[in-house]
A and B are shown apart, each in its own frame.
Chain A
Amino acid sequence: MAQDSGIVVDQGRWEWSEMWKKEDWWAIWIGFILLIASMIIYFPHSGAMKEIINKAEAKYGEAAARTSAIKTIAWYKLSDGKKKAEARKAPFGKWLANFTSKTHKWTNNPADAFFMSDSKAAAKAEKAKLSYEKKKAVEGAAFAAAEAAEAAAEAAGFNDASLNGAATAAIDKWRDAKLLADKATKKTKAKAYNQIGTLIGLGVFFCFLFGIPMAVMGTPFKKFALGFVLVYGITVLAWFFSYQATMKHYGIGYAAWAIFLGMLISNTIGTPKWAEPAIQTEYYIKTGLVLLGAKILFEKIITIGTAGIFVAWVVTPTVWLITYYVGQKWIKMPSKRLNAVICSDMSVCGVSAAIAAASACRAKKEELTLAVGLSLVFTAIMMIVMPAIIKTTFPVDKQMILGGAWMGGTIDASGAVAAAGAFLGEKALYVAATIKMIQNVLIGVIAFFVALYFTTRVEVEETGAKVGLMEIWFRFPKFVIGFIIASVTFSLIYSGFNDNLDGLGRAMIDKGTIKGGSDLFRKWFFTLSFVSIGLATNFRELKEHFKGGKPLILYVFGQSTNLVLTLVMAYVMFYLVFPELTATI
């Protein structure tokens, strides 16, 4: 767990005691304890979930299956009915979501982030009702038009292309109106809250969760707990700022704030010595990464078909390798690790990929900070520029799918992809978000590849020692194994549920153990690690890594290559190779 040089270095010889003396292993233990606890909480609810899905099927299944020429109203209602099956809605799931909840959204009054009185909540709900009623009326009218158009198409046996087209357009319009009305409904249910107590309770829980293993690893619990107060405090502050309305619009999320606030303290008043035992970047990151593994579900890569797999899984490693090669041979990046981390965040999926790659190749904290910083800046720019370019230059019939695939394959962060996609329309959002999701699955493959490359090639070059299989095992970052085991295990469980009943995997894994379990903790753990990075980062050292602007040049080159290759591949696959399949979206 040596962090003195900013790099985590494994010892050269295997000892069984490593399993309780090293953070790599503790990350696996803590991650799996949380995952198993989530399964114990949610899996007993599979019967109730099946019932909801079967009920929807019984009510709308037959009507939905009466034609495959268009997606009828009943088809959408069936889909909506199935979506209601969410294991996390179980009472304990609701309690857990509340307990691990971050601060609330706020605009001008910072107090809104932590508490809201009954009267204020009632006033907010009342205000939202007006907007809801308007949207509900629009939805009602759109639904009536959709019903009429569908009836006309059905009268022609769904064989008249123009009537089918008119019905599809009317139904799409109704879906858009329904989506907005549903979102408005949520706002009418504003409730009073007081987050302070739960935030303190959660801090105490995390303190024990990480502090006890730290004590086993040799750091006195009291010392860890004292430092953790500062680390956790800044973590809460990072969430507080990321939920401010303007920051949210700009996509400046918790990672950016955590690093920034940590650096602000370390480079102004200085990081206090007493906080150092709790500044455990690798420990928090690796635990979060093991939890991340659980949601890397392989079945999801099939979602958008072969076209999607070529856009996400062929372009991404190509861009990674080209950029890495150019970084080494032409730009002459002084650090191979920084080169690899930038390649990963730029080509795969931004912050999450950067974290995984940095941990896999043991990059310095400053290198991760730099790569994340570049990714965040370009994400904010691309989120605004790309939809504008698509809207003004793409043919109208290709804006949704080609535009969506282009943005999904190139914009780094999922949230920015969703915002940019939604700007173009519902279908663009779906395509963009799905391409990004498939890319997310690639994190595990890339992290494993990077770990193997650095263990067997780069570290050998650096130390001059030859490595055998056992030595590779000694040096290999063990949390990657936990990450892969979690991914494979949950992929199998997910597929098993789906084999049992279509949609059960979503209800039990996506909207159960992941959304209602691992995800609730993972974001906190990543924020703790980013705060630790900030608190341990010296601005002067960071500047050293940026010398000559090489990281920026590398990022711009890589992203430009990514933009060109993704656009070409998306066009070829969606419109030249699989046009009929694309037409069904």
Chain B
Amino acid sequence: MEQHAQENKWWPVAKLIFFSFLIWVFGWIVGPFFENNIPVYKQIAHVVEERDIDSAAYMYTDEVGSYDGEYFLTDSFKHSGRTDYGLTLAFFSGILSCFAILWFGWRFVMK
């Protein structure tokens, strides 16, 4: 009975150690294996390293590429001098469409 209780006491710790071992297996054996054997993945990992991309970022401000992209595109459009860029009627129709879709959903879909 006492031995059984002791086994139960150690079981959670054993589980913790086992799952920690799984992390190690993934991080140092399985992960690198896939990385080295799937060509597309290998290339993406290379790009991530070379350009220092934070591929685990969740928001645009966590990723330098977002800022660079924004500046590049904004400056490109301004540089082109086109009149169909900016706060045009078409642009506002896009925003209005978004709110119209949500209103439609509110009124008819989510009733």
The answer on a CB contact under 8 Å between A305 and B69 is: no
The answer on a CB contact under 8 Å between B73 and A352 is: no
The answer on a CB contact under 8 Å between B72 and A430 is: yes
Q: How many A-B residue pairs have CB under 8 A?
A: 248
Q: Does A55 contact B (CB under 8 A)?
A: no
| B-side contacts of A200, CB under 8 Å | none
Number of chain B residues whose Cβ lies closer than 8 Å to a Cβ of chain A: 71
| A-side contacts of B106, CB under 8 Å | 449, 453
The 0/1 profile, CB within 8 Å of A marked 1, for residues 74-103 of chain B is 111101111011111011001101100110
CB-nearest residue of chain B relative to A301? B95
| A-side contacts of B1, CB under 8 Å | none
Other-chain contact of A430, B15, B56, B68, B91 (Cβ < 8 Å): B68
The answer on a CB contact under 8 Å between A309 and B94 is: yes
Near B by CB (< 8 A), chain A positions 432-457 give 432-434, 436-437, 440, 442, 445, 449, 453, 457
Q: Does A462 contact B (CB under 8 A)?
A: no
| B-side contacts of A515, CB under 8 Å | 61
| B57, B68, B87, B101: most-surrounded residue (chain A CB, <10 A) | B57
The answer on a CB contact under 8 Å between B77 and A584 is: yes
The answer on a CB contact under 8 Å between A246 and B27 is: yes
**Chain B interface secondary structure, helix, strand, loop or mixed?**
helix
Chain B min CB distance to A521 (Å): 12
CB-nearest residue of chain B relative to A261? B23
The answer on a CB contact under 8 Å between B70 and A303 is: yes
| A-side contacts of B91, CB under 8 Å | 302, 305-306, 309
| B-side contacts of A226, CB under 8 Å | none
The answer on a CB contact under 8 Å between B73 and A71 is: no
The answer on a CB contact under 8 Å between A253 and B56 is: yes
A585 and B74 CA atoms in complex are apart in Å by: 9
Known pairs A183-B50, A264-B19, A422-B65; A313 contacts B98 (CB<8 A):
yes
Chain B min CB distance to A201 (Å): 23
A440 and B75 CA atoms in complex are apart in Å by: 21
The answer on a CB contact under 8 Å between B35 and A249 is: yes
A254 and B38 CA atoms in complex are apart in Å by: 25
Which stretch, A207-215, A408-416, A544-552, touches the partner chain B?
A: A408-416
Chain B min CB distance to A67 (Å): 9
The answer on a CB contact under 8 Å between B101 and A269 is: no
Which stretch, A216-224, A277-285, A380-388, A471-479, touches the partner chain B?
A: A380-388
Chain A min CB distance to B78 (Å): 8
The answer on a CB contact under 8 Å between B67 and A449 is: no
Known pairs A309-B94, A384-B44, A580-B82; A418 contacts B66 (CB<8 A):
yes
Return 15 A-B CB contacts under 8 Å, by A number.
A245-B49, A265-B16, A302-B87, A310-B97, A313-B98, A350-B58, A414-B60, A418-B66, A422-B65, A432-B69, A433-B70, A515-B61, A584-B76, A584-B80, A585-B77
Which residues of A line the B interface, CB within 8 A? 64, 68, 71, 75, 79, 82-83, 108, 179-180, 183, 186, 241-242, 244-255, 264-265, 267-270, 292, 295, 300-306, 309-310, 313-314, 316-318, 320-321, 324-325, 349-352, 383-384, 387-388, 413-423, 429-434, 436-437, 440, 442, 445, 449, 453, 457, 506, 510-511, 514-515, 519, 523, 526, 578, 580-581, 584-585
Which residues of B line the A interface, CB within 8 A? 12-13, 15-16, 19-20, 23, 26-28, 31-32, 35, 38, 40-41, 43-45, 47-63, 65-77, 79-82, 84-88, 90-91, 94-95, 97-98, 101-102, 104-106, 109-110
